[in-house]
Amino acid sequence: MSDKFHGELESLRREICELGEYAIGMLRDVLCALYENDAVRAKEVYLRKERLAEWNHEIEDNSLRILALYSPTAVDLRLTACILRMNYSLFRIGRMAKDIAKLVMYCAEEPEGVPMSGLSHMGEIVLSMLDDTMTAYTNRDLAPIRDLSRRDDSVDSMRSSIFRENLTYMMENTKNIKRGIDYITISRHLERCGDHACLMAERVVFMITGDRVEIR
């Protein structure tokens, strides 16, 4: 392959790192807005959706152009396939952060009768899964994602626990219904973000080793 091709592919590889910082940053910031009941910060995250979509389209177009022009093979093809997968997953993560932001914006005035300690812990684990997946991709090192499946199982268990906990508070006091439903919805979004971390990690493993694995 030409130097021009490898230069374009390397540029695309770095773009995914930058998109990762942007999309995961949206999720991190909106969780902070949730914990602080900060509707203003949530709206700022919500407004980032436009740039997220533009970036997603740019990376997809550039990836398809590289496939069409250069027909990469072997490790270069695996990298391109990984970029396409991660581009989609990071876009979905950013969109879920946008959806959480919308909930935070509208529930800020609701009574705070439902604890969010479980949701906070769940968010920390999901963010660690995403950060470690990006580190594995950036450094071409599988060590950060070796226990990803265990963490994903924990996230799944937490979602069920948060559902039961919030249902209890909603039954005890009808004033908790709106916030309880929102917390249950947010836990579902976080679970899906964890699933996307696993999907990306599977592609990172394939990119590095050529082996297909299932991390869930």
Residues 6+ apart with CB under 8 A from 47: none
Look at residues 135, 107, 114, 160 and name the one whose alpha carbon lies nearest to residue 24: 135
Whether the pLDDT of residue 108 is over 70: the answer is: no
Model pLDDT, residue 1: 58
The domains of the chain, with CATH numbers, are 3-209 (1.20.58.220)
Task: Give the span between the Cα atoms of 31 and 94, in whole angstroms.
Answer: 12
Across the chain, mean pLDDT equals 94
Q: How confident is the model at residue 203 (pLDDT cuts 50, 70, 90)?
A: very high
Average pLDDT over residues 11-38: 96
pTM: 0.95
Whether 145 has a pLDDT exceeding 90, the answer reads yes
Residue 45: what pLDDT?
Answer: 98
- Decide if pLDDT at 164 tops 80: yes
For 173, residues 6+ apart whose C-beta sits below 8 A from its C-beta are 113
